[in-house]
């Protein structure tokens, strides 16, 4: 369990790579056995949700892409232990060059065997946050070869003004793909070993292929934000939905300091 909290060594080159490209894929962040332990805990509520969603063939593109369950930390103390781990939180703070981070929310993303692709999008389109100081940790809970649909990034796209008003959909896939092609932007898609973790900025464009294997692609994500992040006025219905779900009773313009958004790492507290 110490692996959840012990510091992970980042180099200056790691941090520079993140700022230049908007993401980084880190090797061997966790021991494989630790992640297999937590997969057993995380998958139960996710599989219950999958039953509720019914036949994948009858879903739209978004819901064929994955089964999504948020804020598992509030449901299960063992998941809370994982989400509140200081190792990932400290990495997030160091990558963003901020003094500390608080939780925006966690999110399990399970892509079933035969599950569809995840369209191009930028996460921060959904988030009513006043600055860009936010990052998602993408944590696969098994080895994830390309055939299972690992996350893929457009390097440097956090600096592009592309797709920032597009929710995940067939339309976002079509428009963003065409614009990236016109800009001759590369796409980085790599397999993940169990224990690898990637981090990507809120405006970094990313997607994932379909799961063409006979196994479920299980992923846990944790979204971190600067501990001093303020709530912005909602710009869309989706942002209003996110505010109500993940930072209720917070007034726009104030620090998102609610019971749902605890500080997970701060240099002031260490």
pLDDT tens-digit map of 103-161: 999 999 999 898 889 999 999 999 999 999 999 999 999 999 999 999 999 999 999 99
Q: What is the CATH number of the domain that holds 204?
A: 2.60.120.620
Q: Would residue 190 count as lying in a domain?
A: yes
What is the per-residue pLDDT for 174? 95
Total-model pTM:
0.94
Are 102 and 263 in contact, with CB atoms under 8 Å apart? yes
CA distance 170 to 168: 7
In terms of residue numbers, what domain contains 180? 2-246
Q: Would residue 143 count as lying in a domain?
A: yes
Would you give the DSSP letter of residue 35? H
Closest CA to 73 of 45, 92, 98: 45
* The total number of structural domains that make up the chain: 1
What is the per-residue pLDDT for 61? 66
Q: Which two tokens stand for residue 258?
A: 């609610």
Q: Would residue 258 count as lying in a domain?
A: no
Whether the per-residue pLDDT at 52 is higher than 70: the answer is no
Of the CA atoms within 13 Å of residue 252, those in its CB half-sphere come to 11
Are 118 and 207 in contact, with CB atoms under 8 Å apart? yes
Q: Would residue 200 count as lying in a domain?
A: yes
Q: Would residue 215 count as lying in a domain?
A: yes
Q: Would residue 263 count as lying in a domain?
A: no
Q: Would residue 262 count as lying in a domain?
A: no
Q: Would residue 261 count as lying in a domain?
A: no
Per-residue pLDDT of 53-104, as tens digits, reads: 666 666 666 666 678 999 999 999 999 999 999 999 999 999 999 999 999 9
């Amino acid at each position: 369990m110490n692996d959840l909290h012990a510091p992970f060594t980042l180099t200056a080159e790691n941090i520079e790579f993140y700022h230049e490209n908007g993401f980084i894929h880190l090797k061997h962040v966790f021991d494989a056995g630790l992640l297999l332990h937590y997969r057993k805990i995380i998958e139960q509520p996710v599989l219950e949700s999958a039953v509720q969603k019914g036949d994948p063939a009858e879903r739209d593109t978004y819901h064929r892409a994955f089964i999504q369950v948020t804020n598992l930390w509030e449901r299960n103390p063992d998941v809370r232990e994982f989400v509140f781990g200081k190792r990932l939180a400290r990495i997030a703070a160091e990558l963003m060059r901020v003094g500390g981070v608080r939780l925006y929310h966690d999110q399990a993303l399970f892509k079933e065997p035969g599950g569809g692709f995840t369209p191009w999008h930028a996460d921060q389109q959904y988030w009513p946050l006043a600055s860009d100081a936010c990052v998602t940790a993408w944590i696969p809970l098994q080895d994830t070869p390309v055939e299972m649909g690992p996350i893929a990034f457009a390097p440097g796209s956090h600096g592009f003004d592309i797709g920032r008003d597009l929710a995940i959909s067939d339309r976002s896939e079509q428009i963003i793909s065409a614009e990236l092609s016109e800009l001759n932007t590369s796409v980085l898609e790599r397999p993940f070993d169990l224990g690898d973790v990637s981090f990507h900025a809120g405006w970094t464009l990313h997607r994932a292929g379909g799961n063409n294997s006979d196994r479920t692609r299980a992923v846990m994500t944790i979204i971190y934000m600067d501990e001093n992040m303020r709530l912005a006025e909602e710009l869309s219905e989706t942002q209003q939905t996110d505010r109500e779900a993940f930072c209720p009773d917070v007034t726009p313009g104030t620090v998102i300091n609610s019971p749902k958004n605890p500080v997970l790492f701060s240099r002031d507290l260490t």
